[in-house]
């Protein structure tokens, strides 16, 4: 298995996990804000971004998806890092916290709190977006130069899609098209529900952020988090969509840093004095 990642900064490690059909560049709006405080690793999940589909095939369920991430954490020398994710990545972050593999978890609009009907609707929207990404690349590049068309294409994901520049928008569309793991992950999500009873360790700070303009997983799903995870901090993100990093980078980065800073000092992983990594982009192969 090969996992592509970007790594930079110094301090307690923080792993960033993207959603279905996306790539690690989704975290670019907040990356530098986070590397000022942490050693940050933003990864491409297997079958997405620059990470190929594993030779053994895509994981069949969420448990296998989470298990597939753990060897990379070990290879990178990360013992109970902080984790943050959105959508699929938010669910993975919560699952890592539930297994004791994370010091803290920040999840934005995490999967696993939907009803079957809401899951089907979300996947229908994402499949529509993926179908649109199969336009010929030169035509798509020209179309995305229009702020109106960028807004039309990315409005299901972001509240302020015109903040995306043309190259970032094109890159995200191509990542959705080339994400060979999309269908397998969509199938794996059919029966997924997050088991709130598994996340009961009071020493693991958990923050859930939910955009009030999320068109994939409606913000009302946050009420299920409040009911199921009463110890978690649940925050509504004003004027933010399903992928909130571009909509409000300061708010997103601030929530992550508040969560990582809430870990009791006695529970923090002791690491050697960190060496600042200006920037590293590489593959981990198992």
Per-position DSSP letters for 192-230, written without gaps between them: ----GGG---TTS-EEEEEETT-SSS-GGGHHHHHHH-T
Instruction: Give tens-digit pLDDT for 13-64.
Output: 999 999 999 999 999 999 999 999 999 999 999 999 999 998 888 988 888 8
- CA-CA distance, 270 to 282, in Å (whole number)? 25
**Dihedral angle sign, alpha carbons of residues 29, 35, 38, 44:** positive
Alpha-carbon dihedral sign for residues 193, 29, 179, 98: negative
Q: What is the pLDDT of residue 198?
A: 87
Are β-strands 206-211 and 233-237 bridged in parallel, bridged antiparallel, or unpaired? parallel
Under the banding of pLDDT at 50, 70 and 90, the label for residue 68 is: confident
Averaged confidence pLDDT in the chain: 91
Answer yes or no: is pLDDT of 271 > 60: no
> Binning pLDDT at 50, 70 and 90, where does residue 274 land?
very low
Contacts of residue 106, defined as CB under 8 A and 6 or more positions apart, other chains included, come to: 82, 83, 84, 85, 93, 206, 207, 208, 209, 255, 256, 259, 260
Q: Is the CA virtual torsion 214, 217, 223, 226 positive or negative?
A: negative
For the chain, domains (ranges, CATH) are 2-285 (3.40.50.1820)
Render pLDDT for 168-201 as a digit per residue (tens, 0 to 9): 999 999 999 999 999 999 998 888 999 998 887 7
- pLDDT tier at 283 (50, 70, 90 boundaries)? low
Residue with the bigger pLDDT between 65 and 86: it is 86
Asked whether the beta carbons of 93 and 105 are under 8 A apart, the reply is: yes
Q: Give me the pLDDT at residue 59, please.
A: 85
Global confidence as pTM: 0.93
Residue 276 in this model has a pLDDT that exceeds 50: no
Q: What is the arithmetic mean of pLDDT over 71-88?
A: 94
What percentage of the chain reaches a pLDDT higher than 70? 92
């Amino acid at each position: 298995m090969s996992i592509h990642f970007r790594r930079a900064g110094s301090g307690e490690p923080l792993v960033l996990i993207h959603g279905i059909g996306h790539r690690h560049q989704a975290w670019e709006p907040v990356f530098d804000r986070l590397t000022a405080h942490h050693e940050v690793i933003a990864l491409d999940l297997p079958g997405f971004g620059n990470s190929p589909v594993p030779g053994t095939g895509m994981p069949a369920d969420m448990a296998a998806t989470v298990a597939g991430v753990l060897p990379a954490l070990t290879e990178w020398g990360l013992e109970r890092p902080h984790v943050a994710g959105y959508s699929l990545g938010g669910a993975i972050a919560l699952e890592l916290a539930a297994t004791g593999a994370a010091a803290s978890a920040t999840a934005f609009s995490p999967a696993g709190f939907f009803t079957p009907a809401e899951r089907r609707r979300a996947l229908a929207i994402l499949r529509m977006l993926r179908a649109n990404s199969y336009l010929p690349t030169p035509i798509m590049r020209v179309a995305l130069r229009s702020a109106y068309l960028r807004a039309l294409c990315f409005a299901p994901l972001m509240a302020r899609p015109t903040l995306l520049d043309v190259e970032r928008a094109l890159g995200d569309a191509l990542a959705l098209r080339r994400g060979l793991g999309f269908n397998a992950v969509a199938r794996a999500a059919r029966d997924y529900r997050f088991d709130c009873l598994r996340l009961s360790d009071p020493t693991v700070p958990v923050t859930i952020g939910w955009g009030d303009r999320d068109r994939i997983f409606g913000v009302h799903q946050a009420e299920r988090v409040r009911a199921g995870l009463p110890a978690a901090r649940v925050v509504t993100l004003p004027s933010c969509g399903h992928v909130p990093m571009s909509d409000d980078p300061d708010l997103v980065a601030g929530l992550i840093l508040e969560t990582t800073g809430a870990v009791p000092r006695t529970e923090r992983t002791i690491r050697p004095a960190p060496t600042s990594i200006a920037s590293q982009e590489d593959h981990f192969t198992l």
